[in-house]
Structure 1
Amino acid sequence: MKGHLYKVTLEHLQDAKGQAVDDSKLVFETRNHDDIFKIVEMMKGKMDIDETDAIAFAVGLKLFGEVMLNNRDVELFKQFKPHMTDFMKQLKKQ
């Protein structure tokens, strides 16, 4: 499979009440046709959101978008594709 290979690690540090959470971790590898690090750098300062939100947004959007591309025959993704296309066009204008 072509594309950039990433290892994603998500650690749950605190619950909704601020209590520490131990040993809750997701780790997986995934591919993406884009260089996510370059996308993250482009997103910083592009929108009127803080840097942490920009990073989370860029990473989440790229992971979601790649899943949609890889599973374009799934009915839910077929229905959502026109909205995603419009959204991406608006985002690129920012």
Structure 2
Amino acid sequence: MKGHLYQFTVEHLEDPRGQAIDSAPLEFKVRNHDDIFKIVDALKARMPLDETDATAFAIGIKLFGEVMLKNRDNPLFKEFKPQFTEFMKALKKQ
């Protein structure tokens, strides 16, 4: 698959009580057809969200969307595709 290659690292820092968590981070590489950095910048500028929420939203939606495209024959994604397409159209109008 062609596209931009990204590496993600997710660290679990603390539990709901504020206790430190000592666990190995999740690390993975993934390709995406879009430049996620440009999308993050665009959403920060257009969405009424704080910077952290806009970044998390942009990354989450791009990762989810790419998995959906890659697995388009999965019945769960196939059923959800029309709603996701409408959501993305509305998001692009923001």
TM-score normalized with structure 2 length: 0.96
Per the alignment, residue 54 of structure 1 pairs with 54
Contact 1:7/1:27 (8 A) holds in 2: yes
Task: Give, in whole Å, the separation in 2 of the partners of 1:44 and 1:6.
Answer: 20
Deviation for aligned residue 1:7: 0.6
Superposition map of 1:18-29 within 5 A: 18-29=18-29
Structure 1 residue ranges (4+ consecutive) displaced by more than 2 angstroms after TM superposition: none
Deviation for aligned residue 1:77: 0.2
Taking only the aligned residue pairs, the percentage that are identical comes to 67
Paired residues in the alignment total 94
Task: Give, in whole Å, the separation in 2 of the partners of 1:29 and 1:16.
Answer: 28
Task: Give, in whole Å, the separation in 2 of the partners of 1:5 and 1:49.
Answer: 26
Superposition map of 1:63-78 within 5 A: 63-78=63-78
Per the alignment, residue 9 of structure 1 pairs with 9
TM-score normalized with structure 1 length: 0.96
Q: Which runs of 5+ in 2 are unaligned?
A: none
Task: Give, in whole Å, the separation in 1 of the partners of 2:42 and 2:17.
Answer: 34
After superposing the two structures, state which structure 1 stretch, 23-32 or 54-63, moved more: 23-32
Deviation for aligned residue 1:40: 0.4
Q: Which runs of 5+ in 1 are unaligned?
A: none
Per the alignment, residue 43 of structure 1 pairs with 43
- Report the RMSD for the aligned CA atoms in angstroms: 0.8
